[in-house]
Chain A
């Protein structure tokens, strides 16, 4: 459906995209992931010419987008875009947002468009809000209306530019649910996102963008479980584990627990397991004496379904497992499948596997 060849985008001396080559076929759901500032959004916005590429070519359904003669607005009508900041037309009600495109651009009658609009709103669960104005909706509701607005235009392909980044976690799920439904119905979608779990579940292709190109691409399993290239691996790893460094006894336990909780939430771990992890971490830290250079690592392997917590503490050899009567130790052991201790290279290393249920 879309062929992109040698796409490049410069802002003066800054090269954002250097050489992007990709084919997008009908019905594909593609997730675009990668660190911030690597051109993910720029790439997306080049596809519908919101940004004008510096070089390369984009062909949509055999029509070269960058040709002077091409009627770009018309092609855009077939591509819908969902923005991070929703961008609903502020002066129109929800239903008017949905009918303005069809009426003005597709020549539909107002009644026809209105009927269709109501159906779409039902689809996204917002039929009740048809006559509300954007400033009366929550973020999640606005985004769902934005999606419905695109659907009202009968788009063939939907471009999502970080659709849930501006939403708080409670609203994220409602939007992801709608997107999931769309994918089941066979809509071609390109989604730039930071929601890794979501990306893994929903897409059939994943682009990892870095260095101005599509650095690595593959199926979700390939990218998330077995990243080949080094940078991909670093990225994936980073999202699969949480590293916390401590330099003194005066560590901020609450901050650490906060990060751990967020990590657990991200990986959809059950509350019970999350509690275990937090408790164990607290007790583990209390066991450490004279912290000068220590690190805590929480990692989750989806394949194995295991949650690991390890702690490395630079210092004299000190085996906490010796003191069996210690209450803290008892708490830890009670919640872990495995507890191992080793003194390696001057560091006290404790490896724990937290019970999964």
Chain B
């Protein structure tokens, strides 16, 4: 499953000049090799055939590699450590370098080994200047000596251990009377010559050089140089001898005199451990559970940490200080999954059942207590104690208590004659079953274990709460005596502390979370109940609202005013699913191939026509009519036409025009087929056909009024309409307000979602058909304006908007002037009234005002809604402009009034001739703004059944489901209207400008 990442450009490309080209080339090469399945490298021959080999720059390793693997791809890195890292990360198949160095690296890291077979043998030698054969002889003799007396083997063991880092440099006594031996080295090659943690230069070569110096009775001076400078330094005499894991080569031998080879090594290859080569980590490793999780949480410094880094190289690993932090991150979706102990699983899930297991047991590891390395006695006592409790059944009881139950209690532990204290390091929020602090009391398996241990020693126990990552340092520093914190035995930790015998075997579980909106990849919608925690779109005021709220309380409900809006939201991923009635759903699906049906078995509701509670006669009449058409086959035909067949294709039958005294006003809200729609400027649909039939048969003069869906009931209650229809479901709540006819159709609900959220479309590539923007625009234009003569609707709406705007502003200005005068008068009642009017009207949203006036004030009055709109907007306009007038008047200097009065004008004359002209100039700019506001506010008149521009665009939208075009078109038209109407005001503003009147008087005077 491991895939090589395809996006790296290797560091340290040899020729920086051709960096980009090479990088590009390399990327290409890498990409082509990206898709190969990687098998493990177990011997040299596996590296044949164009594998990637990592080498450090500036060495001969690349030549060596190419000699052996002519078609290998060489990748260059800054240092041999980077090469090894590349191998471990899968960016290279092998790293080639000197064997001892590679062994050293392999010993210190995990996951890599050095292949036994060497590329080429290699020999290290010390070099001296050709002028100093004596020195060379000395070196050789030292070599023979230490090989003979075993010192050489000791050195090898010291500097090339099988595991771990080289040991420390021994102290070597040197008298050093006869001078100084200057030893040049490049202290970058561990373990030949390198800088240790005390900043001293140490290594095999250094030790060897010390012995040589000792033999020559000279002091040793170590000179640290660049590798490439060693030979020049030797030749120029700056140093006497050089050594740094330097290979004896012919080329070099031309310049310097080599000693005998002091270390036979070779060029080896470092590769990644595979299944075949890798010794198992104590326990089993499972393959990781798919590329599901991208963000993983682990406890900092825990074994999960290392495991995750190793086995999920592509995931982002987030370390957390405490378990609760990590769990919170999983719950909130900051990480996709987190690693926990298998034993904690039960407790965590019991606290929040939304946690779900991604992988039950990734690997297991033994848990033991930790002791500092110096405390071997305590450790052996513990092991004895452990053996005892395992034998006498206490251990089993503990396991029962803590591992199988969820909320156990600490038992009594007898601390008799306690003298002395054992300090135990534990982590308070690792949680049960191991340890937990509840109400200041510790409890858990580890707690009991360490408690019993202390008691067995006759000591008391003190618990120190430390973060997990600080346990080891605390132990090493002696702050605590023992660690019991469900700590797993790892080699890494063994370097610092000693473990007791394992007291438990723990598994690592990968835990995810069932959050609502984001799923771990594979969770798509399969059945209806999957919407329980999703974003659901429904129609405002429909029965779907109550249904979803009750059945799926965790779902997020989004309410929409129209099918078109809901559709757009679905497509733009603002909701996950949308609920429609089945017929509409069918039409929606037909027009949108990228949407799919989740379920059509949601619930069924009967549809009825609504009547005012007072109008029982009409109700009865209609019910009789319903029975009639069901019997005579009309109903069946209608159902067939609108519900079964494609409603788009349906043709309304012809109806006679009835003119009679019996008037019937029917309120409908135009949503869409199959119930009520407007096509070619005609009302069509099942409900329309049904009502027309009713009117024809019962001789009613029929009139349809188009009202927003939520306002239908208000219209009925206030008597504006006699009946209402638009696929209205009979619900008990509605039945409290109005009467319903008998059921005339069944309303079935369907739930729709985007196909790539639906499980049943898994694997299909779903894309909405792509069109060029211009074609789309052209299509939109045609659909929204030309088709079905929709532009007529637009023009009509436009006219209505203009009429309302102009008259409302006139009415508003007049009323506003009146209110202003009252506000500025000296009479207290007038002042208060006008203040009150202003606050009241300004504080009421215009739509609310509009609906109150239409449905409440003029409830039973048969009044033209356009007139109502003019009055309502006029009242609203007045409240604002009156204050503007007042401001503009009061802003005029009092001296102007005084001059007028003093000249003999009456107050009114002063106002008209002197104040008002000046005030007018000041108020026009803000008045203009308020007027534009008014024009835009008229867009809500749809609520009182006026078909203005916005309503026209809504109707069109309900047919085309096109979100973009009709809205933009409406916006553009509004801007145009506002602009044109304000041109008029601009004209007034200019003509009121006094400076333009100069010209007229000049003529008079210069006569």
Interface residues of A (CB under 8 A from B): 48, 50, 73-81, 83, 85-93, 95-96, 100-101, 104-105, 110-111, 114-115, 118, 130-131, 133, 149-150, 153
Secondary structure of the B side of the interface? Answer: helix
Minimum C-beta distance from B343 to chain A (A): 89
Q: Which residue of A lies closest to B917 (CB)?
A: A91
**Alpha-carbon gap, A89 to B903, bound state (A):** 11
Q: Give B98 Cβ to nearest chain A Cβ, in Å.
A: 94
Is B906 in the interface zone, CB < 8 Å from A?
yes
Q: Which residues of A contact B1005 (CB under 8 A)?
A: 95, 114-115, 118, 130
B421 within 8 A of A: no
Check B918–A153 contact: CB distance below 8 A.
no
- Are B902 and A89 neighbours in the complex by a CB distance under 8 Å? no
* B995 surroundings in chain A (CB, below 8 A): 133
Measured CB to CB, the closest approach of chain A to B141, in angstroms, equals 104
Chain A residues near B1004 (CB-CB < 8 A): 110-111, 114
Selected interface stretch from B143-151, B584-592, B891-899 = B891-899
- B1001, A87: Cβ atoms closer than 8 Å: no
Contact status B904-A87, CB under 8 Å:
no
* A88, B1001: Cβ atoms closer than 8 Å: no
- A104 and B896 contact, CB distance less than 8 A: no
Residues of A within 8 A of B1001 (CB): 93, 95-96, 114, 131
Contact of B921 with A91 in the complex, beta carbons under 8 Å: yes
Give the CA-CA distance A105 to B1002 in the complex, in Å: 23
Instruction: Output the nearest chain B residue to A150 by Cβ-Cβ distance.
Output: B903
Chain B, 888-939, CB within 8 A of any chain A CB: 893, 895-896, 898-906, 909, 913-914, 917-918, 921
Q: Given A104-B913, A130-B1005, does the pair A83, B918 have CB atoms closer than 8 Å? A: no
> Is B998 part of the binding interface, using a Cβ–Cβ cutoff of 8 Å?
yes
Chain A residues with CB under 8 Å of B898's CB are 50, 83, 87
- Is the beta-carbon distance between B899 and A89 smaller than 8 angstroms? yes
Nearest 5 pairs of A and B residues by beta carbon: A77-B904, A87-B899, A87-B895, A81-B902, A76-B904
Q: Are A105 and B918 in contact (CB under 8 A)?
A: no
Is the CB–CB distance between B905 and A131 below 8 Å?
Answer: no
Please give me the residue from chain B that is nearest to A130 by CB atom: B1005
Q: How far is the CA of A312 from the CA of B480 in the complex (A)?
A: 97
B994 CB–A CB distance under 8 Å: yes
- Residue ID in chain B nearest A97 by CB atoms: B899
* 8 Å CB contact of A101 from B903, B906, B998: B903
Q: Mind listing 7 A-B residue pairs with CB under 8 Å?
A: A50-B898, A73-B905, A80-B902, A95-B1005, A131-B1002, A133-B995, A150-B903
Q: Within residues 978 to 1007 of chain B, which ones have a CB less than 8 A from any CB in chain A?
A: 994-995, 997-998, 1001-1002, 1004-1005, 1007
- Contact between chains at A73 and B994 (CB < 8 Å): no
Q: Is the CB of B902 within 8 A of A73?
A: no
B916 nearest CB across to chain A (Å)? 10
Assuming the contacts A100-B913, A133-B994, A133-B995, asked whether A48 and B902 have C-beta atoms less than 8 A apart, the reply is yes
| Bound-complex Cα distance A50 to B900 (A) | 11
> How far is it, in angstroms, between the C-alpha of A150 and the C-alpha of B909 when the chains are bound?
18
Find residues 822-864 in chain B having any chain A CB closer than 8 Å to their own CB. Answer: none
A91 with B994, Cβ < 8 A, contacts A83-B898, A114-B1001, A114-B1005 known: yes
Nearest A residue to B894, CB-CB = A87
Quote the shortest CB–CB distance from B771 to chain A (angstroms): 60
> CA separation between A111 and B1003, bound complex, in Å?
10
| Cβ-neighbour of A50 out of B901, B906, B994, B997 (below 8 A) | B901
| B902 A93 Cβ-Cβ under 8 A | no
Complex partner residue of A83 from B899, B913, B998, B1007, CB under 8 angstroms: B899
Bound complex: CA A5 to CA B900 (Å) = 27
Question: Is A89 a contact partner of B914 (Cβ separation < 8 A)?
Answer: yes
Cβ–Cβ contact B895 & A85, under 8 A: yes
Q: How far is the CA of A150 from the CA of B994 in the complex (A)?
A: 22
Identify 6 new A-B residue pairs, CB closer than 8 A, beyond the known A76-B902, A110-B1004: A76-B904, A90-B893, A92-B994, A96-B1001, A105-B905, A115-B1005
Q: How far is the CB of B519 from chain A (nearest CB, A)?
A: 72
Residues on A with beta carbons closer than 8 Å to the beta carbon of B994? 91-93, 133
Question: In the complex, are the beta carbons of B901 and A88 less than 8 A apart?
Answer: no
Q: Which of A92, A105, A115 contacts B904 (CB 8 A)?
A: A105
A87 to B1001, CA, bound (A): 22
The reply to whether B913 and A87 contact each other, CB–CB distance below 8 Å, is no
Indicate which residue in A73, A92, A95, A100 contacts B906 across the interface (CB closer than 8 Å). A73
One of B903, B918, B997, B1002 near A90 (C-beta < 8 A): B918
Smallest distance from the beta carbon of A13 to chain B beta carbons, Å? 22
Which residues on A sit within 8 Å (CB–CB) of B905? 73, 101, 104-105
Interface centre among A50, A89, A131 (most CB of B within 10 A): A89
Report the bound CA distance from A81 to B905 in whole Å: 13
Q: How far is the CA of A133 from the CA of B917 in the complex (A)?
A: 15
CA distance A79 to B901 in the complex (A): 11
Q: Nearest Cβ in chain B — how far from A111, in angstroms?
A: 6
CA distance A75 to B221 in the complex (A): 123
Closest to A86 in B: B895
A231-B791 Cα distance, complex, nearest whole Å: 89
- Distance in Å from the Cβ of B494 to the closest Cβ of chain A? 91
Please give, as numbers and ranges, the residues of chain B lying within 8 Å of A114 by CB-CB distance: 1001, 1004-1005
Report the separation of the CA atoms of residues A73 and B909 in the bound assembly, to the nearest whole angstrom: 11
A95 to B1002, CA, bound (A): 10
- Cβ–Cβ contact A101 & B904, under 8 A: yes
Please pick, from A78, A89, A93, the residue contacting B998 in the complex, using a CB distance under 8 A: A93
Instruction: For the complex, give the distance between the alpha carbons of A95 and B999 in Å.
Output: 12
A244 → chain B closest CB, angstroms: 37
Q: Is the CB of A77 within 8 A of B903?
A: yes
| CA of A92 to CA of B915, assembled, Å | 11
- Residues on B with beta carbons closer than 8 Å to the beta carbon of A131: 998, 1001-1002
Give A78 to B918 CA distance when docked, in angstroms.
26
What is the CA–CA distance of A92 and B896 in the complex, to the nearest angstrom? 12
B990 CB to closest chain A CB, in angstroms? 14
With a CB–CB cut-off of 8 A, which chain B residues contact A83?
895, 898-899, 902
Expressed in whole angstroms, the minimum distance between the Cβ of B888 and any Cβ of chain A is 13
How far does the alpha carbon of A341 sit from the alpha carbon of B293 in the complex, in Å? 111
CB contacts (< 8 Å) of A76 on chain B: these are 901-904
Please indicate the chain B residues that have their CB under 8 angstroms from the CB of A80 in the complex. Answer: 902-903
- B764 CB, nearest partner CB in chain A, Å: 75
Q: Which residues of A contact B899 (CB under 8 A)?
A: 81, 83, 87-89
**What is the bound-complex CA distance between A92 and B909, given in angstroms?**
15
Complex contacts, A91 vs chain B, CB 8 Å: 914, 917-918, 921, 994
State in angstroms the CA–CA spacing of A77 and B1001 once bound together.
Answer: 24
CB distance from A91 to the nearest CB of B (A): 5
Question: Cβ of B913 and Cβ of A74 under 8 Å apart?
Answer: no
- Least CB distance from A357 to B in Å reads 46
Return A304 CB to nearest CB of chain B, in Å. 43
- For the complex, what is the distance from the CA of A118 to the CA of B899, rounded to whole Å? 21
User: What are the residues of chain A within 8 A of B909 when measuring CB–CB?
Assistant: 104-105
B896, A87: Cβ atoms under 8 Å? yes
Bound: A86/B914 CA distance, A: 15
Distance (Å) between the CB of B881 and the closest chain A CB? Answer: 21
CB neighbours of A87 from chain B (8 A): 893, 895-896, 898-899
Which residues from chain B contact A86 at a C-beta distance below 8 Å? 895
- Collect the chain A residues with CB atoms within 8 Å of residue B903's CB: 76-77, 80-81, 101, 105, 149-150, 153
Q: Chain A: which residue is nearest B909 at the CB level?
A: A104
Q: Mark B204-239, 1 if CB is under 8 A from A, else 0.
A: 000000000000000000000000000000000000
Q: Are B998 and A90 in contact (CB under 8 A)?
A: no
The answer to whether A73 and B1002 touch across the interface, beta carbons within 8 angstroms, is: no
**What residues on B are CB-neighbors of A90 within 8 Å?**
893, 896, 918
Cα of A74 to Cα of B905 in the assembled complex, Å: 8
A105 to B995, CA, bound (A): 24
Q: Identify the closest chain A residue to B895 (Cβ).
A: A87
- Which A residues touch B896, using CB under 8 A? 87, 89-90
B898 shortest CB reach to chain A, Å: 6
In the assembled complex, the CB of A351 is this many whole angstroms from the nearest CB of chain B, namely 49
1/0 contact string of B232-274 vs chain A (CB within 8 Å): 0000000000000000000000000000000000000000000
A48 surroundings in chain B (CB, below 8 A):
902
